[in-house]
Amino acid sequence: MSTLAVYPGSFDPLTNGHVDIISRGVRMFDRIIIAILVNAEKSPMFTMQERVEIAREVFKAYPQVEVDTFNGLLVDYVERKQAQVIVRGLRAVSDFEFEFQMALMNRRLNAKIETVFMMPAEQYTYISSRLIKEVFSLGGRVHGLVPELVEQRLREKGLAKEA
């Protein structure tokens, strides 16, 4: 049986931490869908279309990685896609409580779907999309923390002097 995993999130923007998790995931699962939540934030930095475009471009060399959007309950989306697994990254103990709640709630909603947690490489454990946006918009350097395409798109948005 081939395993299909869904990697859900806001991806506003995609970071190298996300890329690291997906790169590990392709070694474990036959296919992965990067599922971007529609309207997760009221005022995202990147539009849904930009986030989809970025993820597709970054993973264009990986035929087993698909990029999609979803709204509503994650478990309903996973079921519709006939996927078996939800992948989430765990960076630190601070992530654990929220992830634990989500995994157990999702299991209660659909016991057939399993959540698998993956640890990113240690150099990415402190990165979050929120911090990237904050640092960049205050003029800080985010080089090496996000894919080059994200860095370029941030610069195009003219939010800081230099990436």
Q: Is the peptide bond before 63 cis (omega within 30 degrees of 0)?
A: no
Using the minimum distance from each CB to ligand PNS, give the nearer residue, 10 or 23: 10
To the query of whether residue 143 is one of the catalytic residues in this protein, the response is no
Beta bridge partners of 85: 5, 114
Give me the residue whose beta carbon is nearest to ligand PNS: 9
CA distances from 88 to 9, 67, 116, 129, 137 (A): 9, 16, 6, 15, 27
Q: How far is the CB of 78 from ligand PNS (least distance, A)?
A: 9
91 tagged catalytic: yes
Catalytic, 81? Answer no
Q: How far is 150 from 144, CA to CA, in rounded Å?
A: 11
Nearest approach, Cβ of residue 52 and ligand PNS (Å): 15
In the sheet with 4-9, reading across from the earlier edge strand, the strands are: 65-70, 31-37, 4-9, 85-89, 114-118
Nearest distance in Å: CB 66, ligand PNS: 17
Name the site residues for ligand PNS (rule: CB under 6 A).
8-10, 37, 40, 73-74, 102, 105-106
Q: Considering 27, 42, 112, 161, which one is annotated as catalytic? A: 42
Catalytic one of 31, 129, 133, 153: 129
Which residues does the annotation mark as catalytic? 18, 42, 91, 129
